[in-house]
Amino acid sequence: MHATEKAMESKLQNLNSPKGKFSIPSWPSLLLIFTFVAVLSVQIMTKSTLSPARVVLSGSFEPDHASSDPETCAGFFGELPKRKVVMSIKDFGGVGDGKTSNTETFRRAVRHMQSFGDIGGAQLNVPEGKWLTGSFNLTSNFTLFLEEGAVILGSQDEDEWPIIEPLPSYGRGRERLGGRHISLIHGNGLTNVVITGHNGTIDGQGKMWWDLWWNRTLKHTRGHLVELMNSHNILISNLTFRNSPFWTIHPVYCSNVVIKGMTILAPLNAPNTDGIDPDSSTNVCIEDCYIESGDDLVAVKSGWDQYGISMAHPSSNIIVRRVSGTTPTCSGVGIGSEMSGGIFNVKVDRLHVWDAAAGVRIKTDKGRGGYIVNVTISNITMERVKVPIRLSRGSNDHPDEGWDPKAVPKIRGISFLNVVSVNSTKAPVLAGIEDAQFEEICMKNVSLLGLAPSARWQCQFVSGFTSQVFPLPCPELQNNGSSLWCSFS
């Protein structure tokens, strides 16, 4: 037996025996191991799927971040000139004791640096310390740089998160009618903006906001940790973001956005703390990020019901690459549920998810309208993910009474290649919508291991093509006719 196959057999024994102790496998276990090894052999021969991961003694897949990978999204982000002016928040009287409010200090610093935009821009350094602040806006041709040990803390005063207009593609706040709280770090109509550093931290101190949500005393939709609107050429990298009140990073109506090398953390029960949500944006790349969240790790969106349909501002050319993390209630990558402006050309590659409700999920329903077209999902590893693949309706929430029940979404060209899921509890759920069949679902080399014998695929109003899929998929996906549309056939 190949050495790698032996390692994988040992891995499966560790996964299925308490505390990793050796136990003699039963006949069903041997069958499971044989199936896994057979799948792995195919993957090795095709030089795919598990090459960016290594097996470790703990018995879990671990992305090999140390390996060199030439694929990067650098091309999405144009080169910036060296900032001509570099100043510290201390130069403006900032106090990093974690108690003194620096809200006006940050606002004053950015206003001052705005004047250097036409000579190459400016950089504001945040040194080691705890810098308490309310919301502040960025400016164009600007770098916010957090030095090692620097922590920006979100204010616990609601008044320091002012109310702003709802997004036009949503028509209201996502959680409450009317306006919404501005994000902690915000920008609108900007170009050439960088938020980076030496692994400094931005901590939204979101518990106050989560409690308002849990207690149903929230008056306005919570703010994000970072939101950039109508902006171009954005880089967010090499930082830790923690405890966002709501979605953590939200580029909306933006283009050429790179988010890389980020660690994003929230308690696993913190409501709606999505990691990264590209929304009605184009040319967005998310790579080499680790996320722990109370909601989707990454969610691609494009507006809500009739407001998103009317604005018709799709999300397109989205890359999610080498992202790993866990979310017990939601998915590794979600598309929707707000997708009414359309979503096309999405590539998800080398996603690693564990202890999650779903691995990849497309969420939509009647009233959404819009479309999701040309989505490629490849080289995915999952462990203890309840439903590894879920394409479903059920997003039965609407902004107001003006939504159109006849506005059904169009879902076409969703491809899965080289997917391995270990110890899932349910088979995939592929539930389309009556009068809006999910079409051209393509799956190749998909192995869902450890499912109970009684687990069955749930399929309705879907059609597609599969090859090398285990266990056998539902009849709707066993179409052996023409599969020219399937990019992996």
* Active centre residues (catalytic): 295
Q: What is the DSSP letter of 196?
A: E
Secondary structure E strands in 7-157: 53-55, 61-63, 85-88, 97-101, 122-126, 129-133, 136-137, 142-146, 150-154
Nearest Cα residue to 360 out of 298, 280, 412: 298
Tokens of 231: 């902006």
Amino acid present at 452 = A
Q: What is the DSSP letter of 76?
A: G
- CB contact at 8 A, 465 and 479: yes
Nearest Cα residue to 250 out of 280, 292, 294: 280
Angle CA 341–262–48, to nearest 5: 80
Angle CA 395–285–464, to nearest 5: 50
d(CA 147, CA 87): 12
How many residues appear in the chain? 489
